[in-house]
Amino acid sequence: MEKKINLTVDKTENELRVDIFIKKRGDIISRTRIKNLILDNKLKINNKIITDPSKKIFFNDEIKLVIPEPKKASLKPYEFNLDIVYEDKDLIVLNKPSGIVMHPGAGNFDNTIVNALMNYSKNSFSNMGGELRPGIVHRIDKNTSGLVVIAKNNQTHEHLSNQFNQHTIQRVYQLLIWGKIRPSKGKIETFITRSSKNRQMMEVSNSKGKKAITNYKTLEIFENENIPTFSLLECQLETGRTHQIRVHMNYLGNSIVGDDKYKKKFKKLKDIEPSLEKILTKLNRQFLHAKTLGFIHPRKNKQMIFNSILPNELEKILKTLRNMGK
């Protein structure tokens, strides 16, 4: 059923952003949901449609936001073997393999995690994210593997979205980079914005974009006369910006192995061990894996933490590097 929010701005709320104002007053839907509704022409300020979530509001402004009844998904089911780590009546935790995108988009409307979820259980997911994203609370890149949480109902979706917005979700990634980072552990804190040269990429900015914080530590360093230097890292995110870890590693000059978007594709190196070269040139993904996912369960109100192991193709690279170091 469609809902309408009608609000009037008080003196104490003068010059607030409209999305913050609505969230502060209503507190019934997430700020991300509010932003998406504004972008979808569902907001009026003084009877004029506004599509800018950052629009400033002023004393006595009349704010009207329409929350339409969510559409039911009409997606083609995709027969795909989902690796379900945990499931209850509120949510599913999936271990996503590399090579599959989370939801339908330009060029791919049928072979996605969402389509696979429709095949698994058509009517059991939240519909807050819109017709093409039932259940999707957050995403990881197509060529990244690891843990994601799927919401089965709108209450769960809202609760989890708020945890993401408040940066209380625990997310730990493992990655292999070229070279080594000094210091061996630390915090990367920058702004990330869309690239001015390639709209499909992101970049670090000194002033514009969204704040991005990545905590990293070095787990292992691999270097000898037969191989270039590699480092196995663990990154814990405080924020969840698009391509955040990939952009931050590239910013430091230590791109992720296998990342063909934020680093030139692997080229033959002199004096490299042939077996390692063969494995690296065949790697059709970035060495980036969402290892740990932790959150407060919306219904049980208790902390839940899930872990997953590296997929075989990544573990094989580590095994080869460790054997070369003996």
Give me the residues paired with residue 192 across strands. Answer: 204, 210
Residue from 10, 141, 260, 271 carrying the catalytic annotation = 141
Catalytic residue list contains 141: yes
Backbone angles phi, psi at 163, to 5 degrees: -65, -40
Backbone angles phi, psi at 113, to 5 degrees: -60, -40
CB burial of 2-21 (b: ≥16 within 10 Å; e: otherwise) equals eeebebebeeebeebbbbeb
Pairing of strands 210-224, 227-237: antiparallel
Question: Of 43, 142, 156, nearest to 92 (Cα)?
Answer: 156
| Residue 150 near residue 117, CB atoms below 8 Å | yes
Question: Of 107, 110, 117, nearest to 137 (Cα)?
Answer: 117
Residue 219 falls in which region: left (phi positive, over 0), alpha (psi -120 to 50) or beta: alpha
| Catalytic residue numbers, as ranges | 141
